[in-house]
Amino acid sequence: RPARPRPPPPAMSALRRLRSPRGERRAPPPAPPPCDIAAILGLWDTYADEEDAMGMDGLVALCAALGIDPESDVRLLCLCWHLKAKKPALLLKEEWCEGLERLRLDSIEKLKVFVLALDPASLDKRSFRDFFKFVFLFSREGTHRTIEKDLVAALMPIALCGRSPHEAPFLKFLEACATTRVTLDQWCSFLEFTDKVSTDFEGYEEDGAWPLLLDEYVEQARADKEV
C-alpha cells in the first residue's frame, strides 16, 4: 500500500495561508505611523516644572489639560504606572519620552484619549496587584518607606476601584487604631486578604502570616459583632 503523503511543514502551511486564492501573496499590514519624538519632547517642555523631572505642579497642569482631577481621579495614577514611574510623585524625562513613544502618544489629543479610556478596575488580577503596589510606592513622601494613615484613607478608595468589600470597615478600624503609618507589606497584604477572606472572615486563619495590623482588624471586627 502506498505511503500517505506527509503533511506540509508548519512554515509552508503558514506561507500558503498568506497567499490569495490566485496564488498571490497578501500584502503585509501597513506599518504604524512613525511616532513624533520632537512632539513628545514638546509636550514635556510644556508641562514639566523642571528640566528633567515633572513634579506635582507639572502633573497638576497636565491633569488640567487632560480634563481629570489630580486629587481624586485614579487615571493619573494609572498613567504614571503605564509610564513606569519609579520615584514618588515624580515623572522623569526619560520615563515620559520612552513611555509615550512605546504607547505611540505624540500629541495632547492622543494622550487625552488614552488617559480617559484607562480603567484599572478592568485589569486582570496580576496586573491589578502590580498597579496597587505602584500606587503605594508612587504616593510616598521623599525617602519615606511608609505613608501616613490619613493618606491611606484617601488613597485606598481610589486605588481599590471597588474591588474590596473590606474597604469601608478596614478604613474605619484604621482611623480608630493606634497605628499612624502603613508599610508596603501591610498595604499589599490587604489586597491579598481581600481576595482570600470573606466579610464574615471565612478563610482567615489565626496562625496565618498576615501582618499584625490585619490580625487586629479581624479581632476588632469580631468584637464589634458580639456587642
pLDDT digits (tens, 9 = 90+) for 70-95: 999 999 999 999 999 999 999 999 99
What share of the chain has pLDDT > 90, as a percent? Answer: 79
> Which pLDDT band, with edges at 50, 70 and 90, does 17 fall under?
very low
Task: Over range 115-129, report the average pLDDT.
Answer: 95
Q: Which comes out higher in pLDDT, residue 207 or 126?
A: 126
What is the 8-class DSSP label of residue 142? T
Query: Is 60 exceeded by the pLDDT of residue 7?
Result: no
Q: Which comes out higher in pLDDT, residue 34 or 59?
A: 59
Task: Over range 203-211, report the average pLDDT.
Answer: 90
Alpha carbons 68 and 112: distance in angstroms, whole number: 9
Alpha carbons 143 and 130: distance in angstroms, whole number: 21
Task: Over range 191-201, report the average pLDDT.
Answer: 95
Query: Is 90 exceeded by the pLDDT of residue 67?
Result: yes
Q: Which comes out higher in pLDDT, residue 39 or 35?
A: 39
The answer to whether 100 touches 28, Cβ cutoff 8 Å, is no
Average pLDDT score over the chain: 89
| Helix pair angle (74-82, 125-138), 10° resolution | 100
User: Residue 30's pLDDT is what?
Assistant: 65
Residues pairing with 147 in the sheet: 182
Query: Is 70 exceeded by the pLDDT of residue 61?
Result: yes
Q: For residue 203, give the amino acid letter.
A: G
pTM (2 d.p.):
0.83
Query: Is 90 exceeded by the pLDDT of residue 16?
Result: no
User: Residue 18's pLDDT is what?
Assistant: 42
